[in-house]
Amino acid sequence: MADGIYTCVDSKGRKLTSDRPILECIDRTQQVLSTSGWVKRKIGPSLTAHEDAEQEEKTKLQELALAHEAEKKRRDRVLVLRYPNPEAHNKERFAALAQIDEIIDASNKRKRELLEQRQSIAGELEFYAKDRSKTPAALKRKKEDNDNSLSVQQKFVQDQAQEKIRISQRFDEELLKLRQLWAPSAAPPGAAGSGGKNGLSTGG
């Protein structure tokens, strides 16, 4: 299986290509191209084995940079399709934060229930205030369960508050990026002075 497209200019000035090393150019440099046209490496008397390896590594880095740039552009396109205008972005920000608020409200409601339960347990424990050793094991477990549940709910609410901060930061970062991506479409080339429905004009 060919590892690329071999190309060279022979002694008669002809440009030759092949899927394997070209015999007519054995005494001169041959380029090995990738399918996308990049020079993967050079072979021939002009390059040492070390230089050949360096050229191949350089090509790999170029291809990685191209792939990274293509992926960046793809993510940008997806972002603009998802949020074509500021209103769409603000709407999703509001919905995401509102969802967290609903979760926090539900957790706070559970906390209030647990606090009421704690008061009830405290009333039962008061009966054994003079001799704690007589406190029933079931009542002790009930208090421990209540304490643990309260601790869990408090930690959960704190985590959700942090999640709100993360969501806000994410939307802020997206907005900065989107403003750059929206800018070209906000005033396409040739739009100024073309009239149109809005009757806008740049002249004075």
- CA proximity to 163, closest of 90, 93, 92, 97: 97
Tokens 């002249």 locate to: 203
Q: Is the pLDDT assigned to residue 42 strictly greater than 80? A: yes
What is the percent of the chain where pLDDT is above 90?
59
Q: Give the pLDDT band (50/70/90) at residue 100.
A: very high
Structure tokens at 132: 């704690």
Q: Contact, 182 vs 85, CB < 8 A?
A: yes
d(CA 172, CA 202): 32
DSSP 8-class letter at 46: T
3-state secondary structure of 57: helix
Q: Say how many residues make up the chain.
A: 204
Q: Tell me: the pLDDT tens digits for 60-99?
A: 899 999 999 999 999 999 999 999 999 999 999 999 999 9
**Largest Cα–Cα distance of the chain, in whole Å?**
112
Q: Tell me: the pLDDT tens digits for 136-174?
A: 999 999 999 999 999 999 999 999 999 999 999 999 999
d(CA 22, CA 16): 8
- CA proximity to 145, closest of 99, 105, 123, 114: 114
Q: Is the pLDDT assigned to residue 200 strictly greater than 50? A: no
d(CA 127, CA 151): 25
Q: Is the pLDDT assigned to residue 202 strictly greater than 70? A: no
User: Which pTM value belongs to this model?
Assistant: 0.57
Q: Mean pLDDT score of the chain, rounded to an integer?
A: 85
Residue 42: partners with Cβ closer than 8 Å, 6 or more residues away: 29, 30, 31, 32, 51, 52, 55
Identify the pLDDT of residue 88. Answer: 96
What residue spans define the domains of the chain?
A: 5-79, 85-181
